[in-house]
Amino acid sequence: MPDIPDECAALIERVERMMHDEFAVEPGATILVAVSGGADSVVLLDVLFILSYEHGYTLHIAHVNHGLRGEESSRDESFVRTLAKRYDLPCHTTHVETEAFARRHKLSIEEAARELRYRFFRQMCSTVHAQYCAVAHTADDTAETLLLNLFRGTGLTGLAAIPPKRPLTKRALLIRPLLGITREEITGYAAARKLEWIEDSTNIERTYRRNRLRLDVLPTLKEHFNPRIIETLARTATLLRQADGFIESLLESTYEQIATVHDGRVELDRAQLVHLHPFVQGEIVERAIGELTNGRPVSRAAIERVLGLLTAEVGTRHSVVGSIIGIADRQTIVLCDDETEQTVYLPIFKLGTYTIGRFTIVLEEVTRNEVRLGADPNVEYFDYDTLPYRLFLRTWRAGDRFAPIGMKGERVLVADYLTNAKASEHHRRTAVVLATADDIVWLCGYRMSDNFKITNETRRIIRATFQRT
Decide if 442 contacts 433 (C-beta within 8 A).
yes
CATH number of 345-468: 3.50.40.10
pLDDT at 356 over 90: no
- pLDDT, position 263: 64
Give CATH 3.40.50.620 domain extents, the chain: 6-137+176-225
pLDDT at 247 over 90: no
Decide if 326 contacts 305 (C-beta within 8 A).
yes
pLDDT at 340 over 90: no
pLDDT band at 375 (very low <50, low <70, confident <90, very high): confident
Can you state the angle between helices 39-55 and 183-192, rounded to 10 degrees? 70
The arithmetic mean of pLDDT across residues 325-331, rounded, is 85
Give CATH 3.50.40.10 domain extents, the chain: 345-468
- pLDDT, position 413: 93
* Residue whose C-alpha is closest to residue 37's, from 5, 84, 103: 84
Decide if 77 contacts 93 (C-beta within 8 A).
yes
The arithmetic mean of pLDDT across residues 29-58, rounded, is 96
Quote the CATH superfamily of domain 6-137+176-225. HUPs (3.40.50.620)
The arithmetic mean of pLDDT across residues 19-45, rounded, is 96
The arithmetic mean of pLDDT across residues 433-445, rounded, is 94
pLDDT at 417 over 80: yes
pLDDT band at 423 (very low <50, low <70, confident <90, very high): confident
Q: Please tell me the least confidently modeled range out of 6-15, 96-105, 383-392, 452-461.
A: 96-105
Whether the model pTM is above 0.75: no
CA–CA distance, 454 with 434 (Å, rounded to integer):
16
- pLDDT, position 419: 86
Decide if 297 contacts 364 (C-beta within 8 A).
no
CA–CA distance, 129 with 113 (Å, rounded to integer):
24
3-state secondary structure of 37: coil
Write the DSSP symbol of residue 225.
T
**pLDDT top residue among 124 and 245:** 124
Per-position DSSP letters for 62-118, written without gaps between them: EEEE--SSTHHHHHHHHHHHHHHHHHT--EEEEE--HHHHHHHHT--HHHHHHHHHH
The arithmetic mean of pLDDT across residues 40-59, rounded, is 96
Give CATH 3.30.465 domain extents, the chain: 264-340
Fold classification of 264-340 is: 3.30.465
CB atoms within 10 A of CB 403: 20
CA 91, distance to chain mean position in Å, is 26
Q: Where are the alpha helices (DSSP H) in 334-391?
A: none
3-state secondary structure of 119: helix
